[in-house]
Homo-oligomer: A and B are copies of this chain.
Amino acid sequence: MFTVKYEKLLAGRSDLFRASEVRELLKLTEGRNIISLAGGLPDPRVFPKEKLAQIAHDVIAERGDKSLQYSPTIGVTEFREELKKFLSRKGVKINSDDDVIVTTGSQQALDLIARVFIEKDDEIILELPTYLAAINAFRLSKPGMTAIPIDEDGMRTDILEQEVKRLKWLGRNIKFIYTIPVAHNPAGVTMSVERKKELLEIASKYDLVVIEDDPYSYFIYEEGIDVTPLKTLDKEGRVMYMSTFSKILSPGLRIGWVLGNQYAISVLERAKQTADLHTPTLTQYIGMEAIRRGVVEKTIEEARKIYSVKRKAMIEALDKYMVKDAWWPKPVGGFFLMVSIPSYEIDTKKMLPEAIKEGVAYVPGASFFANGMGWNTMRLNFSYPTPEEIDEGVKRLSDLIKRKLKGKTEKIMPVNLFRT
């Protein structure tokens, strides 16, 4: 058969839709007898299956004329109202000139934000490390990316201010600061109240917009942690707040949202019109009823207990097995933590096939570093594996690292932030 050369038809930007080696490797582990600390999946035990089955039945049987029909691009009106009430109850401040748009998962929110705000050679500011899918979404619009290190108290706002000054001096056009202040992915840390205030002061001083990504703040495992959103502390309408049902109800529904200035939301809405017309009406109706019937809040409560046990198992396993020079900030919340091995001997991407051979998988840290570093770090997930798997997985991984470091004494530096 004659073959059409699709390769030569691709747009230049297709280079950015890279086939990731790591993703391909991790795909191979699926369905095999390998302990995966790699993914970011909720434990399916937390899905409220019976209640959602009933809700799905009801919203189709009773309101199918609407729930099966096309719906507005910005989201189903009733659902958006319910969502605002839910967010208010959770302490998210909604200004009078704010609006909320429903997105097809928060991945789409990141993609729409990139399309609407970023053009080639703009500058954006991220955390170091940060959520890899955010880096990928933003990168498509080819901005410069400046990455601000984090420590146990979140983004280093002192470094942020230095960097903003430097960028301004260089004449760079800074579009926004993207941050995951609470229960960070991948690092598990939470920004202190002081740092949050400093971040907002800097944003105000230099007139910058802040994109606050908040998927995990419902899962905090320690007492006395302040989870006030930046959105709530913001007095100037400069924070766009995004979140999702993926962790607190079900990722298979693909429901995310952005809350913020209504003009900015209206532009996101028009971009979404082209992207997928609207998020499925049916899943929005299901989400709406899940809020109304108290299913979301109940699910959060149950899930927090389950994840709390798993997080404890992860911390204990690392304490027990991991090489002592490794650094990993204790995760106060969320699904992940990040381990840094301060040695040139360890390249976690190269090590991954060996780890898989030992029956354990993780995500090499480099993908989370917008500055191309992080080769000696790895992200470990504790929401999906069982406590026993966590213990065994961390043991296998630690044994492998110990073998690789055997006899090597060289150390880069005592680490206390991700700044390789």
A130: interface (CB < 8 Å): no
Of the listed stretches A182-190, A194-202, A235-243, name the one at the interface; the rest are far from the partner chain: A235-243
The answer to whether B252 and A282 have CB atoms under 8 Å apart is yes
User: CA–CA, A6 to B66, complex, Å?
Assistant: 34
Interface presence of A49 (CB below 8 A):
yes
> Smallest Cβ distance from A49 to chain B, in angstroms?
3
Q: Do A117 and B274 have beta carbons less than 8 Å apart?
A: no
A142-173 interface with B by 8 A CB criterion:
none
- Write out the residue numbers on chain B whose beta carbons fall within 8 Å of the beta carbon of A95: 1
How far apart sit A369 and B148, CA to CA, in the bound complex (Å)? 48
Once the chains are docked, how many angstroms separate the CA of A267 from the CA of B18? 8
User: Does A271 lie at the interface of the complex (its beta carbon under 8 Å from any beta carbon of B)?
Assistant: yes
For residue A3, CB closer than 8 A to chain B, the reply is: yes
Please determine whether A53 and B49 come into contact, CB atoms closer than 8 angstroms: no
**Min C-beta distance of A68 to chain B, whole Å:** 4
**Nearest B residue to A58 by beta-carbon distance?**
B53
Distance to closest chain B CB from A375 (angstroms)? 23
- Which of B17, B107, B116, B270 meets A267, CB within 8 Å? B17
A47: Cβ under 8 A from any B Cβ = yes
- Chain B contacts of A1 at CB under 8 A? 95, 97, 235-237
Which of A132-140, A307-315, A336-344, A350-358 lies at the interface with chain B? A132-140
A273 within 8 A of B: yes
Is the beta-carbon distance between A107 and B276 smaller than 8 angstroms? yes
Given contacts A136-B273, A275-B111, A69 and B252 within 8 Å (CB-CB): yes
C-alpha gap A207/B5 in the complex (Å): 9
Question: Chain B residues with Cβ under 8 A from A9's Cβ?
Answer: 117, 175-176, 209
Across-interface contacts of A246 in B (CB, < 8 A): 70
CB-CB < 8 A to A42: which residues of B?
69
With both beta carbons as reference points, the residue of chain B lying nearest to A42 in the complex is identified as B69
Cβ distance A139 to chain B, nearest Cβ, rounded Å? 9
Q: Mark A13-51, 1 if CB is under 8 A from B, else 0.
A: 110011100000000000000000001011010010110
**Is the CB of A228 closer than 8 A to any CB of chain B?**
no
User: Given B47, B266, B283, which contacts A65 in the complex, CB threshold below 8 Å?
Assistant: B47
Question: Is B254 within 8 A of A10, CB to CB?
Answer: no
Q: A-side interface residues toward B, CB under 8 Å?
A: 1-4, 6-7, 9-14, 17-19, 39, 41-42, 44, 47, 49-50, 52-54, 56-58, 60-61, 64-71, 95, 97, 103-105, 107-108, 111, 115-119, 122, 133, 136-137, 140-141, 175-176, 207, 209, 235-238, 246, 250-254, 261, 263-264, 266-267, 270-271, 273-283, 286
